[in-house]
Structure 1
Amino acid sequence: MSINGNTNTDLYSQCTGGYTGGEETTPLLSNGSVQTRARGASFTSSMFNLMNAIMGSGILGLAYAMASTGIVGFCILLVLVSSLAAYSVHLLLKLCDQTGISSYEDLGGRALQNPGKVLVGAAILIQNVGAMSSYLFILKSELPAAIGSFLSQDNTGAWYEDGRLLLILVTLCVVLPLSMLPKIGFLGYTSSLAFLFMLYFAVVVVVKKWSIPCPLPHNVTTLSGAFQISNSSDSECTPKLFVISSESAYAIPTMAFSFLCHTAVLPIYCELDRPTKARMQNVTNVSISLSFLVYLISALFGYLTFYAHVNSELLLGYDAYMPRDIMVMTVRLAILLSVLLTVPLIHFPARKAVILLLRGGRPFSWLVHIVTTLTILGVVLMLAIFVPDIRNVFGIVGSTTSSCLLFVFPGIFYLKISSQPLRSFDSVGAVLLVVFGIIMGVISFSVIVITWVQSS
């Protein structure tokens, strides 16, 4: 299969590794040429997949980001970051439309030759392995307590209290089968379920706003039975519009990481039914807008519940004041299930990057597919099980790779590949993306290193 009049490799083969699945064939328009490809994923399925790639455990920290920046400051930053994320996707899709390339790694190769392709592939692999490891680490730490909260108190020594055992079981029974799927479009159903879990989280945060009084109670009991002291006053029940402090430096990195979906955008674009730049841009805009709405609602009402006492992980605040509330217990389990269902989606671009770097555009091979899947999941599982604290290590790596994938790479690639003059709107926007990404990466890296040194 080839693209007439185009010297680039087969777009659809880049997307799926040659897998077609024997479905109906429809014309794929790319750069003015026609290509036969299998029937793609629906608009709705692609939208849920992208929202699942956007939304993860980062939603738990946005209320703390609002407390660190103020309501108006948070809204301004959230609009800025989400708009820049959508714009950087626009640049990537525009390059795909111009060049006929539908792979982030191959765009790096076109812009910066082979070193660029390797750099992008390595960044995607490091970023996604770090994200998957951190998600499985959260499951290992939180799932035993979430299950135990639904059962009686006298379960000391029960098998489900072993986080490592639970992690191995859910990886083998849930993550591995979903990760083995050859096409990302197949994950649309699990992604829709994960989004519903996130939506339920936002609803619970809104409802519980009126269940916890302000000023906060002084003596509260946690699930473990320990007492915590909260010293709040009426003055602390007034929302702050703008806040500037040392904690404000965490806000932009937290928001930027919450909108990082660029490693999944192009694979989703490849499998979209009737794929055009405008159609995929609509998928992106709807996904980012809905994620923005859920983020804003959960952050706002989480902040208006705890004000200055909001926890860096929002659910921990509810544990302290409502340790046996059924809605809090179910939403904790829902968030963990959402994180679990996000891991296979993050795994897909990581596996694709490895196969593309090692095999190029060769035809799809089930043997390579299975071996690569098992290897990546094995490494991720070992990191989550045996590394005592992976947050600092992957925080440093993620602060650099995330800003590059989200802002720096799309801007540089557009400036190198596009024939538009430097003073054109998109070229100026690409320059601003690169500058913003470098500043954000430096700030993120510095904050994490300083925090690491101080905690040590």
Structure 2
Amino acid sequence: MELQKMNGHSREDGFEGLDGMAEHEEFLPHKTGVKKELHFTDFEGKTSFGMSIFNLSNAIMGSGILGLAYAMSNTGIILFIILLLFIAILSAYSIHLLLRSAGVVGIRAYEQLGNRAFGPPGKMLAACIITVHNIGAMSSYLFIVKSELPLVIQAFLSKHENTGEWFLNGNYLIIIVSCLIILPLATMKQLGYLGYTSGFSLSCMVFFLISVIYKKFNILCPLENEYHNITPTAVTHSASNGTDDFCEAKLFTINSQTSYTIPILAFAFVCHPEVLPIYTELRDPTKKRMQNVANISILAMFIMYLLTALFGYLTFYGAVESELLHTYIQVDALDVLMLCVRLAVLVAVTLTVPVVLFPIRRALLQILFPDKGFSWAIHISIAFCLIFLVNLLVIFVPSIRDIFGLIGATSAPSLIFILPGIFYIRIVPEDQEPFWSRPKIQAACFATLGFVFMVMSLSFIIIDWATGESRSGGGH
């Protein structure tokens, strides 16, 4: 038997042949009169079903929600709904592949699945992709804090311009936010403890959604100074369609920006590095129970994404900005409700950073300390170093948007499509599912689809770099 090592504990890999039981049996099985063994972690999973949903939903929810109304303006309502539903279903299927692979070998770490599938190179590849992607996501969240928090403070103080006070300096503010909020949360031992902050973060985004719906019935179209309130891209879009009528909902449309929609939506559903850590800490864990957590989380985010995009688009139509909040500020910079919404979004993205940090730390532990048990010193040191690195990126790299685009175009398709597909093909034994069986053929097609998305996204970025045109906002 091959020995698997996880968090400093060795265990026999006795899960071959148990795949058919994965749907119904617990990974931490009970034996009559015997204390439950802890195979996967140094603690028993205690996170409730509801808290797990909060954590996974918070991991899915990203800053990309601010760009979905703009994406709808470039696809039309019907095409957007079709694409959003398509990506949501594919994301749920991807999680199914991950959980099925984990069920065969009894592993609940993305990096260890890579090790089981391709040995040390597979483990290193998975860990590097997770690290790069999540560092990019953390940086994007802190960039929002850096750019938006000074403006919110300035508006609440009724200042018409930034006069240079330290509390209006974005660099100082992200350091303060990182030290007072993010670092303490990131040093918690278990991801499950963040369920409460994740719930609060999601409530902030629900407030954002309610405000978007409310504003639909309070902002009349056409807007005053219509062309002053739209981006150059929107003007180009109008000219290319040969119309100046922004107050008309399009059910189906295709333009030069439509091709960005699929990558934006795909990135908006990236949560896969967090799936297995959340699974590890789930109380009474079974594959079916965790799949239900994933399905409910994806459904909830599908509804939030759809309603935000729909009501945001139906408020501004062709005049919607690539960042939805910016469009409201253009209409009325002193709108108290929208200032509160901006503050709520800031709180939401700030509380998401610690959730995103956990998979990076786990990946680094798998690479640097694969055989070492839990250590508070290592646990806190990695969190501190990661937050310090991300702060440096946000402060000193002004043109990081293109770097994020390059990272997102490669890591997101890898995490959603390519790795789950090829892991499934390699890990599930051929005596259970032959190579030419329908499930493995589906997994192969799924991985191929990821390669197509990657090539397509990279092509868009290279074309934009070559032509100097601005990309639409989005990403996770």
The corresponding residue for 1:35 is 37
* 1:37-436 mapped onto 2 (5 Å cutoff): 37-153=43-159, 156-218=163-225, 235-419=245-429, 420-436=433-449
Residue type of the alignment partner of 1:56: G
By how many angstroms is 1:433 displaced? 1.3
CA distance in 1, matches of 2:2, 2:192: 26
The corresponding residue for 2:468 is 455
By how many angstroms is 1:29 displaced? 2.9
- Count how many residue pairs are aligned between Structure 1 and Structure 2: 433
Residue type of the alignment partner of 1:250: Y
By how many angstroms is 1:39 displaced? 4.4
By how many angstroms is 1:146 displaced? 1.3
The alignment yields a C-alpha RMSD, in angstroms, of: 2.3
Helix, strand or coil at the partner of 2:284: coil
| Larger deviation, residues 88-97 vs 358-367 | 358-367
| Larger deviation, residues 404-413 vs 372-381 | 372-381
Q: Which runs of 5+ in 2 are unaligned?
A: 11-24, 31-35, 230-234, 470-476
Cα 1:31–1:49, aligned 2, differ >3 Å: closer, same or farther? closer
Cα 1:32–1:42, aligned 2, differ >3 Å: closer, same or farther? closer
CA distance in 1, matches of 2:45, 2:443: 33
Residue type of the alignment partner of 2:216: K
Cα 1:375–1:306, aligned 2, differ >3 Å: closer, same or farther? same
The corresponding residue for 2:453 is 440
By how many angstroms is 1:332 displaced? 0.7
Helix, strand or coil at the partner of 1:342: helix
Indicate conservation of the 8 Å contact 1:31/1:97, yes or no.
no
Residue type of the alignment partner of 2:318: A
Indicate conservation of the 8 Å contact 2:226/2:319, yes or no.
no
Helix, strand or coil at the partner of 1:8: strand
Indicate conservation of the 8 Å contact 1:396/1:445, yes or no.
yes
Cα 1:427–1:41, aligned 2, differ >3 Å: closer, same or farther? same
By how many angstroms is 1:408 displaced? 0.4
Cα 1:220–1:333, aligned 2, differ >3 Å: closer, same or farther? farther
CA distance in 2, matches of 1:169, 1:150: 19
Residue type of the alignment partner of 1:348: F
Cα 1:432–1:311, aligned 2, differ >3 Å: closer, same or farther? same
CA distance in 1, matches of 2:49, 2:403: 37
Residue type of the alignment partner of 1:271: E
Indicate conservation of the 8 Å contact 2:417/2:446, yes or no.
yes
CA distance in 1, matches of 2:329, 2:183: 31
The corresponding residue for 1:8 is 4
Residue type of the alignment partner of 2:265: M
CA distance in 2, matches of 1:206, 1:350: 36
The corresponding residue for 1:23 is none
CA distance in 1, matches of 2:312, 2:9: 45
The corresponding residue for 1:20 is none
Cα 1:272–1:431, aligned 2, differ >3 Å: closer, same or farther? same
By how many angstroms is 1:422 displaced? 3.4
Cα 1:261–1:392, aligned 2, differ >3 Å: closer, same or farther? same
Q: Which runs of 5+ in 1 are unaligned?
A: 15-27, 223-227
CA distance in 2, matches of 1:219, 1:63: 18
By how many angstroms is 1:308 displaced? 1.4
Cα 1:270–1:357, aligned 2, differ >3 Å: closer, same or farther? same
By how many angstroms is 1:453 displaced? 2.9
By how many angstroms is 1:323 displaced? 1.7
CA distance in 1, matches of 2:332, 2:440: 52
| Larger deviation, residues 30-39 vs 72-81 | 30-39
Helix, strand or coil at the partner of 2:47: coil
Indicate conservation of the 8 Å contact 1:51/1:291, yes or no.
yes
Cα 1:11–1:423, aligned 2, differ >3 Å: closer, same or farther? farther
CA distance in 2, matches of 1:51, 1:303: 23
CA shift digits 1:122-144 (9 cap, x unpaired): 00000011111111112111110
Residue type of the alignment partner of 1:9: K
Tell me the TM-score normalized by structure 2: 0.86
